[in-house]
Structure 1
């Protein structure tokens, strides 16, 4: 029960940011591949059959991972209740497992960010952190990576580092006005978090270096 409560708290924190983690295959803001008249379970069953016939086909496995990811994120966006956590976590854990298999033979920043995002939502925080960092080593200016890593860091109370990611995301070329406004709102929330940490510390020292904006 404690783990479920912790996961629910993370989801609520992200919800309070009035943002959504963005992914190459899914965005809460509506950028999701069409289901072509099928439900997610039907798609997964078809992809599993195709993978059994062609177990070395990386693209089929990637499609399977993306479908698990889309399904889990859509389920989460529709229902953040504690009762829904078990099913959502199981779906996203399958996405992580399939992405890990894909990354053995094909590595790119899109796959890394989606796997890190799914890992975050299944409370695999160490894996999420490592994979976000690996993605940003591949492409330091990848907007989705900077944005999502900032959300992850914010959820861990590491507000200063979250601000660093979001401020860098603001410098990415050709970001939309909506994304710019969202980033600026997130930065303000993180700055407020730093102030709250300072006030809660009960002394005159500056906030912990892990939470201090650079």
Structure 2
């Protein structure tokens, strides 16, 4: 922001210079005009003296003429090089304008300017140093653009990482209201509500998980939450049942799979200590087909020639895949710079932003590339997007950044 205000001050000084410098020059001109008037007065007095001497007989006609010529030459010599300038505006109007220019400029910029956008761009210019700074940026994003479902979603995820479940629940609720109640978001909302209410199950939580699983029986967050709630309430058989469903959905290399299997084992131990046996089948490893289901999309990203002069080499480029029918947030993201283009990147399940939301979990996805000078993945200046394609597509996809973001 300091650079912005320095530039504004420099422009203001330049504007004032156009008003004040001519006024200062006018003082010099006025002094020259005063000296010229004095010389004319002296010339007239000299002529009168010569006329008196001629009348007294001290000068003849020739001497009178010679004296007049000499006085005229002296007057011309004294006024040689002087420039007479007219100042129809006078001095008061330029001084008044010099005062009004900064006042009017400040008022117009305050009303029509984009100081908030300038401050936001400065804030997002550098990567966040810690999660608190990231949270502050996301809060500023949703405050300036409350219709951004992605902004609310990422803010909710950040709150959950800081164990601020109550704030996360409010953020996920906003995202749900903006996206038409996507099942993935319903699960996230229910999970945040559960932890914010000290793990007390409620009719609202039951309604949210029922709605999510009715829309998508494999909604991972809801399955995991039902397992946690069942375990906490001592219903270990139901916990095992829910967690087994979840394990069956996860690829073998998923890092969360081991934790869920550990939860299943603890539930089995609790059942054994209570003298009961689980009524559900033992967990089975996913089939080879399921283990190999991890999607891998390859996309070559390039910049349209007409945009070459409108971007900077350090501008961030986000390449991501999002579900055609599903949550609005990206499923997988890679970050580049404009100077890296053209570039070929790969998006796979290992790039998933959430373990429950993977490319392979959706039949069709859309590839998008966005340039953001501020480094904000949810909004930028330019973008390019492809047509919907199958999530298991193997062919290299071409993605051209060629239009303004939002078009």
TM-score range, shorter chain: 0.5 to 0.7
SS of 1:38's equivalent in the other structure is coil
Q: 1:180: how far off?
A: 5.3
Q: 1:195: how far off?
A: 3.7
Question: Quick one: which of 89, 98, 102 aligns to 2:175?
Answer: 102
Superimposed CA distance per residue, residues 35-71 of structure 1 (whole angstroms, 9 cap, x where no aligned partner) = 9433333233323333232222322222222221222
Superimposed CA distance per residue, residues 60-91 of structure 1 (whole angstroms, 9 cap, x where no aligned partner) = 2222222212222xxxxxxxxxxxxxxxxxx2
Question: How many aligned positions are there?
Answer: 151
The unaligned stretches of length 5 or more in structure 2 are 1-125, 281-407
Q: Work out whether residues 218 and 246 of structure 2, in 8 Å CA contact, stay in contact via their aligned partners in 1.
A: yes
Q: Which residue of 1 aligns with 2:193?
A: 119
Distance in 2 between residues matched to 1:151 and 1:186, nearest whole Å: 9
The unaligned stretches of length 5 or more in structure 1 are 1-34, 73-90, 199-206
Asked which structure has the greater RCO (Cα within 8 Å, sep 6+), the reply is 1
Q: Work out whether residues 230 and 239 of structure 2, in 8 Å CA contact, stay in contact via their aligned partners in 1.
A: yes
Q: State the TM-score, normalized to the length of structure 2.
A: 0.32
Q: Work out whether residues 163 and 213 of structure 1, in 8 Å CA contact, stay in contact via their aligned partners in 2.
A: no
Compared with structure 1, are the counterparts of its residues 191 and 37 closer, same or farther at alpha carbon in structure 2 (3 Å cutoff)?
same
Q: Which has the larger radius of gyration?
A: 2
Compared with structure 1, are the counterparts of its residues 52 and 168 closer, same or farther at alpha carbon in structure 2 (3 Å cutoff)?
closer
Bigger proportion of residues as strand: 2
Question: Quick one: which of 122, 131, 148 aligns to 1:57?
Answer: 148
SS of 1:213's equivalent in the other structure is coil
| RMSD of equivalent CA atoms | 3.0
SS of 2:178's equivalent in the other structure is coil
Superimposed CA distance per residue, residues 105-153 of structure 1 (whole angstroms, 9 cap, x where no aligned partner) = 2122332222222222222522444433332222212344323431222
Q: 1:183: how far off?
A: 4.1
Bigger proportion of residues as helix: 1
Q: State the TM-score, normalized to the length of structure 1.
A: 0.57
